[in-house]
């Protein structure tokens, strides 16, 4: 039996029927198996001003496999981006998310594409989770026409409005009031949806967070503030930046939950809980205890402010992809080879997307002047030498 691909990538070759092992033929295809399964999270939830959800998470073999597949794809993508950056195909900023995949994947499992997500600049995997394609991602990173922002945004400015992903923001903390604004619009339109506004432990001290949270609480907005606490704001450890690094408690009057952010199932449970809460009672804070393997960005080796032992320790003990692999193997939902095949497949998917993205041209020069406004009204704009380069904005 073939482990059919859960994703809808278009770059797959025709499925090849592999020789059946007897043991395999007795098991239903894991990719469609929706037998309910209950898994206990290894770490309990800690709560502030609310009752925490149960540690027992409902899932299915299909979901666990999709977690593995999606996280493997995210992991592979970020590592490939590292190489592209080093070969100077990606320029400027490149903030990688490897290590934090469980947050993106667990969140998507708890919500719909009608719920909104907004995040900061470490956005590649969040965009992928919202339904973005590898081609759009590598295209944008390399500044090509096929990129999700047509090459005009770059690593920090991915958006996917049709999936309610609102970016992609470079200014630390700005996305939090923006996210509360999305929640305002959802409530105003009686949409019965919520917004997840994601930020890091570095942004958690921003004044505008507290301003926005105050308004969200006063107006009962369905806003969920998600602190992805990877314990370092650039090079500054949380205890050096925050008098109180218990970010889930910092909402004071707003309830909060501390979650093992390396456990996709715990993340899913917390997000499900938060969505129900926010729709009835207004804002809630989720603190995801997570970790990034890379430095802050590609110009940061990530080792001047933390030890290599710490990094490898987390990789050994808490890696989100390994955790799901172990879960799948322990519950005999797939074989090691099947999982390795998925990883091989994902690697090829990523390589193919990069090759295709490399073929895409850079934007036309005329694109310098497009999208300055939604409605340019024929206004004039200028290049560096306005006697040489002028344009009329569409």
Partner 1 sequence: MGEEVGEYQGAYKITKGLLEKYGPERVLDTPITEAGFAGIGVGAAYWGLRPVVEFMTFNFSMQAIDHIINSAAKSSYMSAGQISVPVVFRGANGAAAGVGAQHSQCYAAWYGSCPGLKVLTPYSSEDARGLLKAAIRDPDPVVFLENELLYGESFPVSAEALDSSFCLPIGKAKIEREGKDVTITAFSKLVGHALKAADILAKEGISAEVINLRSIRPLDRATINASVRKTSRLVTVEEVFPQHGVGAEICASVVEESFDYLDAPVERIAGADVPMPYAANLERMAVPQVEDIVRAAKRTCFRSR
Binding residues vs partner 1 (CB under 8 A): 116, 118, 149-153, 157, 159-161, 166-171, 174, 176-186, 188-189, 207-208, 210-212, 214-215, 218-219, 370-375, 377, 379-381, 386-387
Measured from the CB atom, the residue of 160 and 250 that comes closer to partner 1 is 160
Q: 166: Cβ–Cβ under 8 A, 6 or more apart, which residues?
A: 116, 117, 118, 159, 178, 179, 182
CA distances to 203, 262, 375 from 229, in Å: 10, 11, 40
Nearest 10 degrees: CA dihedral of 144, 69, 290, 275? 90
SS3 217: helix
Q: What is the closest distance, in whole angstroms, from the C-beta atom of residue 161 to partner 1 in the complex?
A: 5
203 DSSP 8-state letter: G
Measured from the CB atom, the residue of 15 and 362 that comes closer to partner 1 is 362
Q: What is the closest distance, in whole angstroms, from the C-beta atom of residue 23 to partner 1 in the complex?
A: 48
Q: What is the closest distance, in whole angstroms, from the C-beta atom of residue 381 to partner 1 in the complex?
A: 7
Q: Which residues, listed in sequence order, are joined to residue 39 by a DSSP beta bridge?
A: 57
Q: What is the closest distance, in whole angstroms, from the C-beta atom of residue 85 to partner 1 in the complex?
A: 20
Angle (CA) 315-101-149 rounded to 5° is 135
Q: What is the closest distance, in whole angstroms, from the C-beta atom of residue 7 to partner 1 in the complex?
A: 23
Q: What is the closest distance, in whole angstroms, from the C-beta atom of residue 126 to partner 1 in the complex?
A: 15
Measured from the CB atom, the residue of 118 and 357 that comes closer to partner 1 is 118
Q: What is the closest distance, in whole angstroms, from the C-beta atom of residue 373 to partner 1 in the complex?
A: 5
22 membership: H or E segment, kind and range: helix 22-25
Percent helix, strand and coil across the chain, each to the nearest 5:
40, 15, 45
CA distance 304 to 307: 8
Q: 143: Cβ–Cβ under 8 A, 6 or more apart, which residues?
A: 91, 151, 154, 362, 363
Measured from the CB atom, the residue of 239 and 253 that comes closer to partner 1 is 253
Measured from the CB atom, the residue of 239 and 373 that comes closer to partner 1 is 373
Q: What is the closest distance, in whole angstroms, from the C-beta atom of residue 283 to partner 1 in the complex?
A: 12
Measured from the CB atom, the residue of 159 and 232 that comes closer to partner 1 is 159
318 membership: H or E segment, kind and range: helix 308-318
Count of CB atoms situated within 10 Å of the CB of 340: 11
249 DSSP 8-state letter: G
Measured from the CB atom, the residue of 235 and 363 that comes closer to partner 1 is 363
Measured from the CB atom, the residue of 159 and 291 that comes closer to partner 1 is 159
SS (H, E, C) 352-375: HHHHHHHHCCCCCHHHHHCCCCCC
Q: What is the closest distance, in whole angstroms, from the C-beta atom of residue 210 to partner 1 in the complex?
A: 8
Q: What is the closest distance, in whole angstroms, from the C-beta atom of residue 148 to partner 1 in the complex?
A: 8
The DSSP code sequence of 34-95 is: ---EEEE-SS--EEESSPPPPSEEEE-HHHHHHHHHHHHHHHHHHHHHHHHHHTTSS-S---
CA distance 246 to 256: 10
CA distance 159 to 166: 5
Q: Which residues, listed in sequence order, are joined to residue 381 by a DSSP beta bridge?
A: 391
Measured from the CB atom, the residue of 174 and 346 that comes closer to partner 1 is 174
Measured from the CB atom, the residue of 107 and 182 that comes closer to partner 1 is 182
Length of the chain counted residue by residue: 394
């Amino acid at each position: 039996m073939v482990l059919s691909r859960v994703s809808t990538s278009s770059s797959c070759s025709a499925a090849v029927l592999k020789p059946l092992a007897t043991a395999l033929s007795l098991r239903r295809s894991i990719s469609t198996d929706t037998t309910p399964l209950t898994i206990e999270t290894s770490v309990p939830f800690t709560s502030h001003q609310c009752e925490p959800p149960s540690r027992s998470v409902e899932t299915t073999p299909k979901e666990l496999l999709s977690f593995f597949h999606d996280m493997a794809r995210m992991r592979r993508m970020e590592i490939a981006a590292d190489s592209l950056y080093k070969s100077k195909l990606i320029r400027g900023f490149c903030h990688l998310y490897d290590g934090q995949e469980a947050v993106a994947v667990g969140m998507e499992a708890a919500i719909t594409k009608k719920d909104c997500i907004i995040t900061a600049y470490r956005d590649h995997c969040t965009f992928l989770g919202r339904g973005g394609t590898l081609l759009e991602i590598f295209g944008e990173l390399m500044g090509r026409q096929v990129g999700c922002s047509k090459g005009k945004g770059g690593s920090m400015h991915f958006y996917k409005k049709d999936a309610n992903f609102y970016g992609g923001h470079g200014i630390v903390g700005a996305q939090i009031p923006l996210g509360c604004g999305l929640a305002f619009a959802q409530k105003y339109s009686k949409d019965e949806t919520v917004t997840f506004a994601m930020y890091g432990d570095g942004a958690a001290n921003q004044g505008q967070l507290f301003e926005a949270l105050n308004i969200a609480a006063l107006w009962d907005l369905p806003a969920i503030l998600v602190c992805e606490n990877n314990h370092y704001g650039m090079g500054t450890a949380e205890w050096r930046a925050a008098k109180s690094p218990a970010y889930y408690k910092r909402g004071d009057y707003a309830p909060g939950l501390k979650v093992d952010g390396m456990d996709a199932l715990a993340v899913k449970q917390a997000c499900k809980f938060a969505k129900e809460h926010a729709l009835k009672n207004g804002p809630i804070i989720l603190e995801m205890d997570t970790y990034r393997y890379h430095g802050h960005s590609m110009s940061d080796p990530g080792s001047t402010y933390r030890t290599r032992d710490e990094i490898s320790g987390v990789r050994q003990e808490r890696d989100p992809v390994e955790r799901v692999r172990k879960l799948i193997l322990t519950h005999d939902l797939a074989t090691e080879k099947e999982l390795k095949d998925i990883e091989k497949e994902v690697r090829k998917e990523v390589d193919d997307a990069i090759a295709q993205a490399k073929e895409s041209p850079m934007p036309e020069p005329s694109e310098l002047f497009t999208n300055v406004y939604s409605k340019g009204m024929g206004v004039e704009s200028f290049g560096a030498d306005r006697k040489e380069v002028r344009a009329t904005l569409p």
